[in-house]
Amino acid sequence: MASPRTVTIVALSVALGLFFVFMGTIKLTPRLSKDAYNEMKRAYKSYVRALPVLKKLGINSIILRKSIGALEVACGIVMTLVPGRPKDVANFFLLLLVLVVLFFHQLVGDPLKRYAHALVFGILLTCRLLIARKPEERSEKKALPESAEEQPSLYEKAPQGKVKVS
């Protein structure tokens, strides 16, 4: 039977992966939701206007939106389907993306209700990464000495029945 830690990591990986595939797809195409796609286009235009350094670098709202969307889809697929260490790398990239998006929302002065989902998913990504990177707990046999006699004692009995501290 799988450990609760393993079940938690798998559940978070699949749920987060599917969420980011969905959100990335909305940024890339209007096929899922035309209204959400148009809202994303509007939001990314305001992000680029609020950060003029992006325009100086030659990054317009379309490039920014599509690159973030593509990265979300790619990392979401990795988190959902690919086993092992690549999940942690994808998790890290998604966490960085969430921080960037939160920065953009703050930059344009969006109300909390517009970016609350990013906060929640950022916290979930952080939890998943911390759980996944926590070292495996060792079996009780290795964690505890074989007998209590092997443990070093701070107190030794003196010959006259007195206790002396070593």
pTM for the predicted model, two decimal places: 0.77
pLDDT of residue 123: 95
148 domain-assigned: no
Backbone angles phi, psi at 163, to 5 degrees: -100, 130
142 domain-assigned: no
Contact 12, 121 (CB under 8 A): no
162, pLDDT greater than 70: no
- Count of domains observed in the chain: 1
15 domain-assigned: yes
132, pLDDT greater than 60: yes
74, pLDDT greater than 80: yes
157 domain-assigned: no
Closest to 15 (Cα-Cα) out of 105, 121, 103: 121
153 domain-assigned: no
Percent of the chain residues past pLDDT 90, beyond the cut: 65
pLDDT digits (tens, 9 = 90+) for 134-147: 876 654 445 555 55
26 is in which domain, residue-wise?
Answer: 4-135
Separation between Cα atoms, residue 47 and residue 41, nearest integer Å = 10
